[in-house]
Amino acid sequence: MKYIKLAAVVVAASISGCATILSEDVATVNVATSTGKKIDITIDGQNYTVPGVVKLEKDGQSKIISTNDADCASSTAMNRKVEGVFWVNLLSGGLFGSTTDSATDAMWTYDDYVTISCK
C-alpha cells in the first residue's frame, strides 16, 4: 500500500507541467512609444493607454498592437516566445510535463518590453 501511494505521487509529479505551475496565466508587458508620447492602443479588442504596463492572456498566439494615432505605426507585432521554465522542464526529463505546458499554452509568453515607433 505504501508503494502504491508513492507511485501515485511520483506519477502526479511527473505529469504536472512546470511552466503550468511556475508561470502565470498572463504575461506582463511594458509597452512604450519611441517618443514617450501617450497614445491609446488596442490588443485583442482590449483598450489600453501607453506608455504603461499591460497584462495579456497567454493564449499561444502572437499579438498585434493597433493604434489610430497619426504619428505612430498603425500596428506593431508582439511575437510569442517560449517561456524559460519550459526548457528546464523538458531538459529535466519532463516529457509529460512539457506536453501539459504545450497543451495549456503555459509554455508561451511575450517580450517584457515593446516599443511602438512614433515620429
Residue 6 has pLDDT above 60, yes or no: no
Q: Look at residue 103 in the predicted model and tell me its pLDDT.
A: 58
Q: Look at residue 16 in the predicted model and tell me its pLDDT.
A: 44
Are 61 and 80 in contact, with CB atoms under 8 Å apart?
yes
- Over range 34-58, report the average pLDDT: 96
Q: Look at residue 60 in the predicted model and tell me its pLDDT.
A: 81
Q: Look at residue 19 in the predicted model and tell me its pLDDT.
A: 45
- pLDDT tens by residue, 59-108: 888 999 999 999 999 999 998 887 777 666 666 666 655 566 555 656 78
Q: What is the pTM of this model?
A: 0.69
How far, in Å, CA of 2 to CA of 64, rounded?
Answer: 53
When pLDDT is cut at 50, 70 and 90, the band that residue 26 belongs to is confident
Q: Look at residue 81 in the predicted model and tell me its pLDDT.
A: 86
- DSSP assignment of 88-112 equals HHHHTT-HHHHHHHHHTTTTEEE-S
